[in-house]
Chains A and B, each alone.
Chain A
Amino acid sequence: MATPPAEGARFRPASDRSLLVYLGERIALDAHERVRRLLLLLEAEPVAGVRNLHPAYCSLLVDFDALRMSHAELEAILRGYLDRLDDVTLPAPRELEIPTCYGGEFGPDLNELAALHGMTPDRVIELHASAGYLVYFLGFVPGFAYLGGLPGALATPRLAAPRRSVPAGSVGIAGDQTGVYPFATPGGWRLIGRTPIRMFRPDRGNMSFLSIGDRVRFTPISAARFAELDNR
């Protein structure tokens, strides 16, 4: 018999008005799917007094109105939700492509990253564009997707000194993650390319181009194609 999900969850207060629910202790697909199930259930059947939900790799941070409920009361309610996780059907994943112009001014760290791994820049591009990635969650800033599935050969630590401003659309690598900066923000990820896609648009129904659970691939494009797509 399967272990009831609630037994696998760990609760920890994060502040006097938030509770962390850990659904695993490492970055893995099963923990991710449990986070998504709990998120979907809480979005479909909102708990009165819950103000905000922050999914991550294997946890969900639940912000609540501390004048209405305590950590213990919220935990008891969430345990009821956790017992029903197996009944939640995850929607079929969307498959999305991110056209990316690698290297040059768009990927100022490509050559150094290639050298660090003793491979050619072309090989880095080939590896990065051949893998399928999963959107584990969105966080940091609006529309920033944490993508898992980077080939192990490309895993690279963050830059020692983060850049003050990374251009919007920059595609970067940090540890075994890859991702796209939706806005010009400070950042320490190693930049290997850039996409002309607007990752977050407040004037679009689905503001974020990527959603939790999406399957993603990067497609290499030329600088000319980048300019074409960028001007549309």
Chain B
Amino acid sequence: MSAIPGRTIQVQAPGLLTTVQDLGRDGFGAIGVSPSGAADPIALRLGNRLVANAENAAGLEMTLTGGTFVFPEGAILALTGSDFGATLDGGAVKMWTSIEARPGQTLCLGGTRSGARCYLCVRGRIEVTPFLGSASTHLLTGLGGFEGRALRKGDVLHVGPAASPFRQRAIAAEATRHFSLRSVLRFTRGPQADWFSEAAMRSFSESTYRVGEQSNRMGLRLEGAPVPQISGRPMITEGVSLGAIQAPPGGLPIILFVDQQTTGGYPKIGNVISADLHRVGQLRPRDEIRFEQVTWEAARSLLVEQERTLGSGELLAE
């Protein structure tokens, strides 16, 4: 288990949009810094556990189409999240399990076969200079991550020393079902829910929305039925929470996401529950979704249940 110094990953092809992400930076909202972090944090956490990293270790987040990576010194790695049809030196590799790349082997990922994002976790984590305590990339401002940007061909990433002993592990197949894709996002009432009529709330819950092409880590633009407000009351800019569903006047809802603006001036009809935020991270442009309102109590117990599943011993098979 001795750490081999100088392990690297060579980026032969970056994929459509690949960034370094951990679980984000909380606590800097007062200077306008949003948390960022993995769009599907559950996939990143499980990937890290498969390679015996801390759950919040930095990995690579790939979007819709993955990249090609060479491991000159070898690596222990895991792929989680959506299936991008990965191969190692041409042979198919399994998701949700730890695998070993021997020195010089090439990991190649293609287009997605399921959701929007696939995570590559490497034993020892991706090493970058932290910004405000986190390795996560905030693309809009070029802060954090690897030089504040998406990976490019020719980049060389450094892998840190492994901290703990490693044993081969896999996520039990039935366990991944708990976190599988769902087309219904559950939400709680937003702080301005009473700015919308009962009819508007009903229409919002009964409509099917399509994820717009311009969606990204800052927000998902939805296409479908507009959500009319009762009156055009002046809205005073206020803090916005992760997963807020804002409805501009006469416009279409937008879900604010991990790279979100920290404050906003549009009324919020609802907020995606914490237990469903990881599903938002797997939505692709043109995916169809619906919204289902739940109570505060339900939102809380769904989160508690999710964390219990994530913490249970049965999750990891060896």
Chain A positions within 8 Å of B, measured between CB atoms, are 12-18, 20, 25-27, 39, 43, 51-61, 63, 66-67, 70-71, 137-144, 146, 182-183, 185, 200, 202, 207-208, 211-212
Decide: A138 near B30, CB < 8 A? Known: A67-B304, A185-B140. Answer: yes
- Cβ of B161 within 8 Å of any chain A Cβ, yes or no, is no
A16 and B296 within 8 A (CB): yes
Q: With contacts defined as CB atoms under 8 Å apart, how many contacts are there between chain A and chain B in the complex? A: 142
Question: Does residue B29 face the partner (Cβ distance < 8 Å to A)?
Answer: yes
A63 and B26 in contact (CB under 8 A), knowing A54-B239, A139-B32? yes
A56 to B239, CA, bound (A): 6
CB distance from B274 to the nearest CB of A (A): 5
Q: In the complex where A39-B30, A207-B31, A208-B32 touch, is A139 in contact with B262 (Cβ < 8 A)?
A: yes
Determine if A70 and B271 form an interchain contact, defined as CB atoms under 8 angstroms apart: no
State whether B26 touches A212 (Cβ < 8 A).
no
Indicate whether A16 sits within 8 Å of B299 (C-beta atoms), given known contacts A141-B140, A183-B141: yes
Of the residues B33, B240, B296, contact of A61 by C-beta under 8 Å: B240
Quote the shortest CB–CB distance from B241 to chain A (angstroms). 4
Binding site for A on B (CB under 8 A): 26-33, 35, 131-132, 140-143, 188-191, 236-244, 261-264, 268, 271-274, 296, 299-300, 303-304, 307
Report Cα–Cα, A82/B140, bound state, in Å: 36
Q: Which residue of B lies closest to A137 (CB)?
A: B263
Cβ-neighbour of A142 out of B141, B240, B268, B300 (below 8 A): B141
User: Which of B29, B131, B299 sits near A202, CB closer than 8 Å?
Assistant: B131
Pick the 5 closest A-B CB pairs, nearest first. Answer: A61-B239, A54-B239, A139-B263, A15-B271, A16-B299
- Tell whether, in the assembled complex, residue A139 and residue B299 are in contact, meaning their CB atoms are under 8 Å apart: no
Q: Which residues of A contact B300 (CB under 8 A)?
A: 16, 66, 70
Chain A residues within 8 Å of B26, by CB: 51-52, 63
When chains A and B are docked, how far (Å) is the Cα of A18 from the Cα of B263? 13
**Distance, CA A205 to CA B140, complexed state (A):** 22
Which residues of chain B have C-beta atoms less than 8 A from A18's C-beta? 239, 241, 271
Complex interface: chain B residues within 8 A of A56 (CB): 236-239, 263
Indicate whether A20 sits within 8 Å of B140 (C-beta atoms), given known contacts A66-B274, A139-B263.
Answer: no
| CB–CB B29/A61 < 8 A | yes
Cβ of B217 to closest chain A Cβ, rounded Å: 14
Provide the residues of chain A in CB contact with B238, threshold 8 Å: 20, 54, 56-57, 59, 61
Q: For the complex, what is the distance from the CA of A86 to the CA of B237, rounded to whole Å?
A: 25
Q: Smallest Cβ distance from B102 to chain A, in angstroms? A: 38
Enumerate chain A residues within 8 angstroms of B274, measured Cβ to Cβ. Answer: 15-17, 66
Contact pick for B262, options A51, A54, A59, A185, CB 8 Å: A54
A173 to chain B, nearest CB (A): 15
Q: List 15 A-B contacts (CB under 8 A).
A: A12-B191, A13-B191, A14-B241, A14-B244, A54-B239, A56-B237, A58-B236, A63-B242, A67-B304, A70-B300, A140-B261, A142-B33, A142-B141, A144-B32, A185-B141
Inter-chain contact A14/B236, CB cutoff 8 Å? no
Knowing A16-B188, A16-B299, A61-B238, say if A212 contacts B30 (CB, 8 Å): yes
Question: Is the pair A138, B241 in contact by a Cβ cutoff of 8 Å?
Answer: no
**CB pair B273 A16 closer than 8 Å:** yes
Q: Chain A contacts of B141 at CB under 8 A?
A: 141-142, 182-183, 185, 200
